[in-house]
């Protein structure tokens, strides 16, 4: 792992120059790091830089724009909801999310979903509405309508064993997160229990599950979603990453780039701060 000074310098130089506005590979993910780093250091300059990135993202979102989670509106919207949820920004969310909500509602209710994956499919759309419900509560009936529509479709496919095996971990995570919302807990608890009978969930292979993640992210995700104590394994993986340096980093992003390295560093010194892992 590079020094935190090198990580910060690299992201400052390249952050606004990054083409993608998205969560996994672009400016929204980079802003996640700078908000956390500003809170860690108490330096508002980093918070201001994160706000600059948000302004750049808003300028780049021009119709038609992808609704994918990894590079499009769903992930960007989740990022913005995360900023609100953690007190990084203060705004009237009904105005801030008006266009996001309208576009995602049309997508969820009227557009065919390509698959059940987080990156580009239905669970990614669903995560958008889960985050919005956490911030907005029950005040927006269209959020509830869209999330219910998605949840019903997924639960139906779970019941009929119609979820492809490679997309089952994403469906499991969606339902796991969904039932943390009180309005959905009872209705979708049975679907979640059915997911727990899948081989990949009942006996997860940590090296293979959640294929878009790296080993460290996988360990954090398994610790949360499978209630495993992986403290020792996480420590070993951190040591391996520190020894390997940053030679393999090819982008600035949250998924496997410099942003991830920066947030991993903060997690190593503030062990309770793992909320950013939930964005992946």
13 Cβ partners below 8 Å, 6+ apart? none
Q: What is the CA radius of gyration of the chain?
A: 18
Which single residue is written with the structure tokens 């980079």? 30
> Residue 248, SS3?
coil
Return the pLDDT at 37.
Answer: 96
CB 69 within 8 A of CB 32: no
Q: What is the pLDDT of residue 272?
A: 60
With contact defined as beta carbons under 8 Å apart, do 257 and 15 qualify? Answer: no
Give the model's pLDDT for residue 70. Answer: 97
CATH architecture of residue range(s) 4-279: Alpha/alpha barrel (1.50)
Q: Where are the domains of the chain?
A: 4-279
| Largest interatomic CA distance in the chain | 52
107 contact partners, CB below 8 Å, separation of at least 6: 67, 125
pLDDT in the model for residue 271:
66
Alpha carbon distances (Å) from 72 to 29, 88, 101, 103, 241:
12, 21, 13, 12, 29
Rounded to two decimals, the pTM is 0.94
User: What pLDDT was estimated at residue 138?
Assistant: 64
Q: Chunked in runs of 10, what are the mean pLDDT values of the chain (280 residues)?
A: 88 94 97 96 97 95 91 97 93 83 96 97 98 81 96 98 97 98 96 97 92 90 92 88 66 92 88 84
Residue 140: the pLDDT is: 77
Task: Copy the structure tokens of residue 26.
Answer: 């672009």
pLDDT of residue 249: 64
Q: Which residue has tokens 């669903």? A: 126
* Predicted local confidence at residue 177, as pLDDT: 98
């Amino acid at each position: 792992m590079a020094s935190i000074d090198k990580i910060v310098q690299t992201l400052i130089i390249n952050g606004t120059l990054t083409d993608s506005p998205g969560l996994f590979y672009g400016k929204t993910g980079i802003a996640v790091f700078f908000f956390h780093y500003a809170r860690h250091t108490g330096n508002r300059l980093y918070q201001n830089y994160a706000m600059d990135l948000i302004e750049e993202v808003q300028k780049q979102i021009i119709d038609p724009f992808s609704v994918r989670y990894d590079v499009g509106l769903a992930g960007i919207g989740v990022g913005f909801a995360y900023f609100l949820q953690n007190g990084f920004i203060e705004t009237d969310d009904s105005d801030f999310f008006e266009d996001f909500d309208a576009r995602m509602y049309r997508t969820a209710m009227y557009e065919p979903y390509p698959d059940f994956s987080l990156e580009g499919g239905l669970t990614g759309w669903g995560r958008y509405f889960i985050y919005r419900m956490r911030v907005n509560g029950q005040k927006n009936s269209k959020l509830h309508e869209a999330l219910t529509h998605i949840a019903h479709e997924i639960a139906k496919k779970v019941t009929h064993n119609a979820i492809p095996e490679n997309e089952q971990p994403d469906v499991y995570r969606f339902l796991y997160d969904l039932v943390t919302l009180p309005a959905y807990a009872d209705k979708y608890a049975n679907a979640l229990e059915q997911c727990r009978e899948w081989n990949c969930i009942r006996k997860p292979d940590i090296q293979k599950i959640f294929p878009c993640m790296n080993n460290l992210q996988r360990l954090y995700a398994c610790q949360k979603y499978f209630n495993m104590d992986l403290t020792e394994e996480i420590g070993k993986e951190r040591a391996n990453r520190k020894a390997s340096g940053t030679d393999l980093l090819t982008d600035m992003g949250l998924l496997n780039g410099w942003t991830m390295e920066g947030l991993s560093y903060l997690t190593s010194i503030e062990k309770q701060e793992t909320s950013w892992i939930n964005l992946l």
